[in-house]
Structure 1
């Protein structure tokens, strides 16, 4: 019997121990090589793009000869105004990508020996960076569509006679949201958060190209898709798959998201649900790649992402 790829040595190309043994100069050189990979590791001014820069002797910064802007390897990126050594960021990314079902901020904070707040913001910055690649993605070919509800649960009463049917709207908290996923067979995964499943139809029309074959379950919210797409439905009360019509890959995505919620985070706040959903989509799309490749992809995404307007100075002001 053939060995699964993730169990083979080829899937382990990243060593956390090797990262922790890096000197400051080696870690800085690794960041430089990843951030400016397009210019062969030659620093370019983040303000004007000029390659004519000179390095300072006493500090790891450069100055542009054209606009005289001073910058470091993390200037203008999601790690701007960093406080931790670069080696710690490389280690944090390694720990993050190795956690196949997500990583709690508490565990990341313990591994890095930093406050929970620091780990919480750092993890969300990584989620924002890796999720940004999904912004302009359009799916085509064969796409599975499905939804799963998260949050809004109400604690049951102690005594049986006091308990209520939590399936009824009047017995819910009103915070329940649905994650709707569009998953291209053999391709990308796009999740979005809505109040109800049928609210996702306009987004599906925007993100899924015409001529695509869509696979969905028997939920009535997907009836509107028949007008534009070749839509094939599967009734899960009868079968999980019928002549190629199934939503198994969408369900696989939700299995990973559920495991992250139940096994790692235990509770996901509604305003952050989209960030966690995009993280799990990235993990699903890259699940067959070596962890060294994942580390390079996540680091490049972070160094290629501008300063976060959500997480920069998060704890210094109140968030709604």
Structure 2
């Protein structure tokens, strides 16, 4: 599936109705299903009291239980007072800017207040994180730890033993190149903290490649990992200088 450029995206979703029609397709790809009883029998309800009702999709009422719902109900757009076109553009910018789009940029370009832009980005990022958490890496996966935060205090020790926040990093490799990545902040690098993360983010049949740290060896044993390759080198198994080029997973 080709990725739309900004101009193509704006042309495709130039109206609120176009945005709602896309939400309908995503929410009910096989036709309407009542969120309450699961029935597929429904009727459309015109509601003139809704803002810009003539430019929007009608409400959908279940013929079995009479539950009324809209395409935005139960989503991050639920009861929003902000134009759906601005929401869609926020999603597009957040998903396509690897550096991370700022709330000030959203506020300036979409003509909304900073608090509104900040709240929109917060909801979009939360939805993206929830979606990513559903995926599991498979095949050959390189696993290592990384450290994020400001400058280290004291003697400024780097890496393991520093006071920076430890992060478990796993990269799915394909044909020798990184394809997907998953990262998780952990309180410490013990087996008790790391094993649950790897169990959740990796499929059981993965081939692990690690630097042989005691924690990862213990995790492999704890999770009964059959394939665990220890890669010894002067450089860490995972290098942060290429993390920015990976697709989130």
Preserved CA contact (<8 Å) 2:132 2:248? no
Partner of 2:114: 116
Aligned residues between the structures: 228
Please say if residues 46 and 76 of structure 1, whose CA atoms lie closer than 8 Å, have aligned partners that are also in contact: no
Which fold has the larger relative contact order, with Cα–Cα distance below 8 Å and residues 6 or more apart in sequence? 1
More helix by share: 1
When residues 167 and 23 of structure 1 are mapped into structure 2, their CA distance, relative to the original with a 3 A threshold, is: same
2:123 alignment counterpart: 125
Q: Give the superposition deviation at 1:67.
A: 1.7
C-alpha distance in structure 2 between counterparts of 1:11 and 1:30, whole Å: 16
Structure 2's unaligned 5+ residue stretches are: none
SS of the residue corresponding to residue 30 of structure 2 reads helix
The alpha-carbon distance between structure 1 residues 205 and 85, as it changes in their structure 2 partners (threshold 3 A), is closer
Aligned equivalent of 2:198, options 196, 199, 204:
204
1:18 to 1, 11, 19: 11
Look up the match of 2:145.
147
Residue 210 of structure 1, CA deviation: 4.6
Q: What is residue 215 of structure 1 aligned with on the other side?
A: 209
| Compared CA separation, residues 188 and 25, structure 1 to 2 (3 A) | same
Q: In the superposition, relative to structure 1, how do residues 96 and 136 fare at CA in structure 2: closer, same or farther (>3 Å)?
A: closer
- Structure with the larger strand share: 2
Q: Deviations over 1:9-62 (max 9, x none)?
A: x65455244156x233333333323332232xxx43322232222222334322
Q: Would the aligned equivalents of 1:138 and 1:209 in 2 still touch at CA under 8 Å?
A: yes
Equivalent residue for 2:218? 224
Shift of 1:184: 2.2
**CA deviation string 1:158-188 (max 9, x = no partner):** xxxxxx42329xxx8x6x4222122222364
1:165 aligns with 2:158: no
Equivalent-residue separation in structure 2 for 1:51 and 1:234 (angstroms): 54
Which residue is equivalent to 2:103? 105
- Aligned residue number for residue 42 of structure 2: 53
CA-based RMSD of the aligned residues comes to: 3.3
SS at match of 2:105: helix
**TM norm structure 2:** 0.74
Aligned to 1:309: none
Structure 1 segments, 4+ long, off by >6 Å, are none
2-structure distance, mates of 1:26, 1:205? 40
Q: 2:79 corresponds to which residue?
A: 81
Deviation at 1:152, TM superposition (A): 5.2
Q: What's the TM-score once normalised by structure 1's chain length? A: 0.59
Are 1:71 and 2:69 an aligned pair? Answer: yes
- Residue 205 (structure 1) shift: 4.3
Counterpart contact for 1:218–1:236, Cα < 8 Å: no
Q: Which residue does 2:33 correspond to in 1? A: 44
Q: Please say if residues 19 and 91 of structure 1, whose CA atoms lie closer than 8 Å, have aligned partners that are also in contact.
A: no
TM-aligned CA deviation for residue 224 of structure 1: 1.8
Distance (whole Å) between structure 2 residues aligned to residue 91 and residue 18 of structure 1:
11
Matched, 1:182 2:173: no
Give the SS at the match of 1:32.
Answer: helix
> What SS does the aligned partner of 2:82 have?
coil
